Structure 1
Amino acid sequence: MQAGQKVPAVTFRTRVRDESVGGPNPFRWQDMSSDDYFAGKRVILFSLPGAFTPTCSTYQLPGFEDNFAKFNELGIEEIYCMSVNDSFVMNKWAEAQGIKNVKVIPDGSGEFTRKAGMLVAKDNLGFGMRSWRYAAIINDGQVEAWFEEPGLSDNHGEDPYGESSPENLLKHLEAGAEVAAE
């Protein structure tokens, strides 16, 4: 993907808490579309190889969570974390990380990731098909800025991290705000 492109149109299978379901696991299925997440607002989407993995859990997700107020001040309404994991895994990971501001999007079948050109094999790690690490600023469903880690390939021997970091996106947004203020 690149700046100027529309995000892929897909339906995500999510699980949402609903107390009316009752019992020890009060969740129900809810389909969400790309438009539900991206239409009519300016958001950040970042995608990573997997929930509960070291870089994702130690740096990337907490970094976006901790800087949510700064992003909001710079015109970002929502921050979404996507992974080729199912809704059960994504919800449990968000809970384990204590996430309050970042919202998780499960791309369990990898459809969005594939259509974005970011689906890679991670068989060398026993992961199967997963997302390459990237981030995007999306305005009303259209990519405004794209941040992709170098070396996109199947079974890459490393997990590059830097281009899609919250610090890099903040720097980009702050530079844009400075230019707009001049």
Structure 2
Amino acid sequence: MSIQIGDSIPNIELRVMGAEGPEPVQTADLFAGKKVVLFAVPGAFTPGCSKTHLPGFVVKADEIKAKGVDSIICTAVNDVFVMDAWGKAQNADEIIMLADGIGAFATALGLDKDLTAVQFGTRSQRYAMIVNDGVVELLNVDEKGIDKSSAETILAAL
């Protein structure tokens, strides 16, 4: 069963790229006392994720933050080096690129997806959520496409 509205985000250690290289970060620290928009993609540098999903949040970042959002976080089951390179390639300076290298976060949320048939292995489902002080207030999971988890949809929900 996946995480639901009203549930708390599980505390998992993940990675972000710091000034000196990869740094561990606890999800509890990213969400505690903050209003956060979190969105997940199946993979960095993949077509839908690179052409539509992440760019939408890059373009709308200021509008989203103007609605009282402290942080925008993008996560994927990719390593920290890939997430960092993808963020730089997409000019995602206002977005925390959170590496879920082994899929522990996606699995803990119950939002993992087996894409072994297309040689991707276990990845994250495509979703977006609004989290307030670690508690899920909105959860939109896309079965196909990017409509439910787009920056525009999340902005309208704020």
Q: How does 1:3-152 map to 2 (within 5 A)?
A: 3-18=5-20, 27=21, 29-150=22-143
User: Could you report, residue by residue, the CA deviation over 1:135-155 in whole angstroms, capped at 9, with x for unpaired residues?
Assistant: 0000011101111113xxxxx
Structure 1: segments with no counterpart, 5+ residues: 19-26, 151-158, 174-182
User: Could you report, residue by residue, the CA deviation over 1:80-129 in whole angstroms, capped at 9, with x for unpaired residues?
Assistant: 00000010110011111121111100000111100100111112221111
User: Could you report, residue by residue, the CA deviation over 1:30-51 in whole angstroms, capped at 9, with x for unpaired residues?
Assistant: 2100112111100100001000
Normalization by structure 1: what TM-score?
A: 0.82
Give 1:10 shift: 0.5
Equivalent position SS for 1:67: helix
Give 1:11 shift: 0.5
What's 1:160 paired with? 145
Normalization by structure 2: what TM-score?
A: 0.94
Structure 2: segments with no counterpart, 5+ residues: none
Counterpart CA distance in 2 for 1:15 and 1:77 is 19
Q: How many residues align?
A: 156
Larger RCO: 1 or 2 (CA < 8 Å, sep 6+): 2
Give 1:73 shift: 1.5
Counterpart CA distance in 2 for 1:15 and 1:167 is 27
Give 1:172 shift: 1.3
Equivalent position SS for 1:89: helix
2:9/2:28 contact within 8 Å kept: no
Counterpart CA distance in 1 for 2:145 and 2:88 is 26
**C-alpha RMSD of the superposition:** 1.1
Equivalent position SS for 2:89: helix
